[in-house]
Each structure stands twice: as structure tokens, then as C-alpha cells.
Amino acid sequence: MKAAILVESLTGNTWKAGEKIAANLQQEHWSITSLSPVKSPDFAGIQDADVVLVGTWVHGLFVVGQAPWAIDKLRALPAMAGKTAAVFCTFALNPGKSLDGMTRAVSSRGADVIGGLALHRAKLDAHCEEFAVRLVDSLAAR
């Protein structure tokens, strides 16, 4: 399998998560076609990929108003009709319904979003591994 990873990161945590997910998938013999910022996606990498992974960070006031950052940038991603996708977000306290919003935004680009996972920034290693395992298992079951 081949995956393209698109990341919106402010402090580097979400970018680090994208790198960790890529490394976990490579251990499963996947190829990573690109790891690029959401604001400047690698179009060739997306086109060449079997799966597109989209990640961003969550903003909000402590435990209210959580939302995925740059949702408008997600809605402006290139068309991904026929692509399988999965979403992830990094958070500190509470991701709220960020994954639901991300799923809607990426689905609006034509992708078939098969799931997602919220990754706590203090548990990136474990959560990135869990995301990769769930993704591999989900696609194997299809």
C-alpha cells in the first residue's frame, strides 16, 4: 500500500505525529508517497497514493469549543474522488468532535473516509502506533 500524509501543524506535534505514523506504516511495508503541509499539498503524492491521511491539531478553550485547526484548508484540499482516506488530530485536553468535522471536510473532497483517531500529544508514540495498526487492519478487512 502507498500513503500520502497531509499535516497542519503549529508547534510541530502534529508534524511529528505524521512522521511517526509514516514510520509505523513503513514497518508494515507501506510506501509513503509524500508528507506535506495541508497548505501546500504534494499533488503527485496524493495521486500516487492508495490512502490519504490528513492530520491537524485541535484548538479551543480548555474543554469547550474544540475544533480542528484550519478546517477551511481541509475543505480546499484537491479533489480526491476514488481515494480512501483517514484523519487524525493532536490534542492536549479534549478533542471534542474534531474528527467528525475533519471527516466531513475530507469527505467533501470526494474521499471515502474510513475512520480517524485523536492523538493525545503526551502519548504520541502509543497513539500513532495504534492509528497505524487500526488503519492496516481496517484496510486488510476490506
119 strand-pairing partners: 90
Say if residues 8 and 70 touch (Cβ distance below 8 Å): yes
pLDDT at 72 over 70: yes
pLDDT at 135 over 80: yes
User: Hey, where are the domains in the chain?
Assistant: 2-140
**3-state DSSP assignment of residue 40:** coil
Say if residues 3 and 32 touch (Cβ distance below 8 Å): yes
pLDDT at 64 over 70: no
Segment 1-23, tens digit of pLDDT: 999 999 999 999 999 999 999 99
Segment 29-47, tens digit of pLDDT: 999 999 999 999 999 999 9
pLDDT at 70 over 70: yes
pLDDT at 120 over 90: yes
Calculate mean pLDDT across residues 95-121.
96
State if pTM tops 0.85.
yes
Model pLDDT, residue 89: 97
Q: Tell me how far apart the alpha carbons of residues 2 and 35 are, in angstroms, rounded to a whole number.
A: 12
Task: Return the CATH number of 2-140, one of 1.20.1050.10, 2.60.40.1840, 3.40.50.360, 3.30.450.90.
Answer: 3.40.50.360
Model pLDDT, residue 77: 95
Say if residues 62 and 41 touch (Cβ distance below 8 Å): no
Instruction: Measure the CA angle with vertex 63, ends 12 and 88; round to 5°.
Output: 40
Say if residues 29 and 132 touch (Cβ distance below 8 Å): no
